[in-house]
Structure 1
Amino acid sequence: MTNVEKISVALTTQQAAMLRDAVGTGAYATTSEIVREAVRDWSAKWEARQADTRRLTELWNGGKASGKPVAIDLDQLREELRQELRAAQKHAG
């Protein structure tokens, strides 16, 4: 394995026992293999969170740039949507 850097990680007694158990059962060759897999999983989640944050920031900024807020009558909107749904159901069936 190239470009490997050793670091020290503090685990609880229970966590360390779980790692040793996984190695003992043959599911993993070493505890380092388990930690590398955990870091890969964490890395994928981290990247997804970063992408979500960037997207939410874009949406937030777009909303702020869109102008003053406009009041919406949710009851009226709900009724209009119901009427559209009824009309669509009549045409479909």
Structure 2
Amino acid sequence: MRTLTVSLTPQQAARLQSAVDSGSYASNSEVVRDALRLWEQREDVRALELDRLKQAYHDGKKSGEGEDVDPAAFLRSLKAERSARG
């Protein structure tokens, strides 16, 4: 494994140490590795969301011309649909 030097705020260092002291983690390194795994997962989710947004954009462009909508009337119709469903 590679060793890195990381600067933390006093609050971050205290929380990290608290996680180790409480027995939630065996070491500071374990806390950091877990945090990095969570960050990687979040980045993966962001990439998937971006792909979905791009696909939705392309699907919308392919679906044809848009139409003008009165925002107030549109909201009223959504509320009426919701009320009808219960």
The amino acid across from 1:40 in the alignment is: R
Match for residue 67 of structure 2 among 64, 70, 79: 70
The amino acid across from 1:59 in the alignment is: A
TM-score, scaled to structure 1 = 0.68
Rg: which structure is higher? 1
Q: Percent identity?
A: 35
> Greater RCO between the two (CA within 8 Å, min separation 6)?
2
Match for residue 44 of structure 2 among 39, 44, 47: 47
The amino acid across from 1:78 in the alignment is: S
User: Aligned equivalents of 2:49 and 2:57: distance in 1?
Assistant: 12
Consecutive unaligned residues of structure 2, counting only runs of 5 or more, are none
The amino acid across from 2:33 in the alignment is: R
Deviations 1:20-72 (A, max 9, x none): 12212222110000011111111111101110001001111221222221235
TM-score, scaled to structure 2 = 0.73
Consecutive unaligned residues of structure 1, counting only runs of 5 or more, are 89-93
Matched, 1:56 2:53: yes
Q: CA RMSD in A?
A: 2.7
